[in-house]
Structure 1
């Protein structure tokens, strides 16, 4: 973003100052009514911002460039549709401490019509302008694949002193996150087919979602190790396609074996009851 992203805000502020100076003897205006856009109106905001000027909106998004500050005003440009890199908007705020390029954010502010200007690459930009905004940092999971519901079944299976536990399940609109812990209580290294783990629902097999970006974009999550050293444990998250909450399923962890070849294993098959 160039400083041109801040020009309209500065001109607006100057105009407001002039009007204030000319109206010293007038009656103080009533506080404006704050009306927020409905969720169903969000898409229309990006095609016709002028129609909603003066209303308020709450948007989520990801910054596509570093914030730009001029005096007390900071401008950010972000995608609202993060997965498709569309529906960009610009927000002006007086508080963006800690917000950086590519951060995921919530923006709450007043729609000021259409911004027309240039981006970092010199290309023209026309998009909604949000002023007097509050900008709050979020995470990929909170913004893109928020949890709708979660359960903590804490169900386990023990084979030869190696315990596999399904600790938690998070249900999102586009994916299911299964949190698993492997606890190796033996004196030998243990290996398993982490990348081949599956769900079994009503007799149908469900493989992991290899296209999911959640693990890549969520440093707070860990991958489940396929090798667990003697006397240690590993906890991680496996991403599957979305499933219906309240439906029982079976978590399957195949290809288990120990460095002690005298220990025999079958696939771990853990029943997660409906909750």
Structure 2
């Protein structure tokens, strides 16, 4: 966005305020009725913002540019549909401390019609404008793949002093996140096939979701190491396609071996009960 566009939008809003005040008189305005868009109306907002002027909306998204500040007002531009880079919108706020380019955010504000202007590359921008907005920083998982439910089964299998534990499972609409810890209580390095780990559900094998962007976009998560040094542990998250909550499954960690070749291993097969 170019700074002049922010200024133009502000001047337009100020002009509207002045014209409203010219009516004079002692009549007091009634408190504004705050009506939020239903979830089913969100898509329509991006095709016809003018239809919803005066209503309020709660949106999530990812910033596609650095915020711009003019006086006490900061403008942000964000994608609402983060995965497809569509449904962009602009929000004006007086509190955007700590919000930076590429951040994931929640926006809560009033719809003020359509913003028309140019972006930083000289292209035209026409999208919903949200004013008097509250902008709150979030994370990729919270915005894009939020947890619907989670369990902490803490179920383990021990082979030769190497303990593998399924600590937690998070269920999201589009994926399942399995949190695993490998604890090497031996004097030898241990290796396993973390990239070949699978779930077994009702006799059907489920491989990891190699297309998932969750680990890449979530610095709070760690990858599970395929090699765990003697006397250490490794904890990490494995991403699988979405599975039904409350259904028992088996977590399988194959290709386990130790630098001590006298120690024999089979695939780790850990039962996660229905909860």
User: Does the 8 A contact of 2:201 with 2:248 survive in 1?
Assistant: yes
Residue of structure 1 in register with 2:82 after alignment: 82
Q: Return the TM-score normalized by structure 2.
A: 0.98
Instruction: Provide the C-alpha distance between the structure 2 equivalents of 1:46 and 1:4, rounded to a whole number of angstroms.
Output: 23
Residue of structure 1 in register with 2:180 after alignment: 180
User: Does the 8 A contact of 1:8 with 1:115 survive in 2?
Assistant: no
Residue of structure 2 in register with 1:217 after alignment: 217
Q: 1:20 to 1:43 in 2, by over 3 A?
A: closer
User: Does the 8 A contact of 2:7 with 2:70 survive in 1?
Assistant: no
- Return the offset for 1:144: 0.2
CA RMSD of aligned residues (A): 1.1
Provide, for residues 150-209 of structure 1, a one-character-per-residue CA deviation record: whole Å limited to 9, x for no partner: 000000000000000000000000000000000000010000000000000000000000
- Return the offset for 1:17: 4.9
- Return the offset for 1:8: 4.1
User: Does the 8 A contact of 2:156 with 2:166 survive in 1?
Assistant: yes
State the aligned residue count.
275
Instruction: Provide the C-alpha distance between the structure 1 equivalents of 2:201 and 2:21, rounded to a whole number of angstroms.
Output: 69
The alignment partner of 1:211 has SS state of coil
- Return the offset for 1:27: 1.4
- Return the offset for 1:74: 0.4
Q: 1:114 to 1:21 in 2, by over 3 A?
A: closer
Instruction: Provide the C-alpha distance between the structure 1 equivalents of 2:44 and 2:16, rounded to a whole number of angstroms.
Output: 28
Q: Which runs of 4+ in 1 moved over 2 A?
A: 16-26
The alignment partner of 1:145 has SS state of coil
User: Does the 8 A contact of 2:199 with 2:251 survive in 1?
Assistant: yes
User: Does the 8 A contact of 2:192 with 2:226 survive in 1?
Assistant: yes
User: Does the 8 A contact of 1:193 with 1:226 survive in 2?
Assistant: yes
Q: Return the TM-score normalized by structure 1.
A: 0.98
Moved more, 87-96 or 1-10: 1-10
- Return the offset for 1:5: 3.4
Residue of structure 2 in register with 1:262 after alignment: 262
Q: 1:17 to 1:37 in 2, by over 3 A?
A: closer
Instruction: Provide the C-alpha distance between the structure 1 equivalents of 2:146 and 2:5, rounded to a whole number of angstroms.
Output: 30
Instruction: Provide the C-alpha distance between the structure 2 equivalents of 1:47 and 1:23, rounded to a whole number of angstroms.
Output: 33
Residue of structure 2 in register with 1:164 after alignment: 164
- Return the offset for 1:149: 0.4
- Return the offset for 1:125: 0.5
